[in-house]
Amino acid sequence: MLRRKSDDRALLANLVFCLDRMGQTAAALRLLREANRMFASDADSLLIEGRLELRLGNTDAALAVFRKIVDLWPKDSRGWSEIASVYTIKGVPEMAAMHAQKARDIESAARR
């Protein structure tokens, strides 16, 4: 599929979603990782990748993916918000609060 429809992100997202819902989260993650390596990733596909890592309990891997998002797209509040969620799960409330505030600041600036 990746070799024939490399630009069809909607198809890829649907396939990943279906695999995840069928209990094949690891397979969905492998497919998405391969796609993100083969083609230019975007924030949406990286968000999905990070969320799949979280579903599998891989908090450190999820954190690495979400950090990549904030490195590449620092004004996308979703990456900051997801990092806050990971720190909440890991039991580090100070880091969670700091990243959640950064997400709120970005959202607030975007509304101005």
Closest CA to 47 of 62, 34, 35, 58: 62
Instruction: Give the C-alpha distances (Å, rounded to integers) separating 35 from 46, 65, 73.
Output: 10, 14, 19
Q: Which pLDDT score, from 0 to 100, does residue 39 have?
A: 82
pLDDT tens for residues 14-71? 999 999 999 999 999 999 999 888 888 899 999 999 999 999 999 999 999 999 999 9
Neighbours of 105 (CB within 10 A): 12
CATH 3.30.450.20 fits domain 9-111: no
Considering the entire predicted model, what is its pTM? 0.87
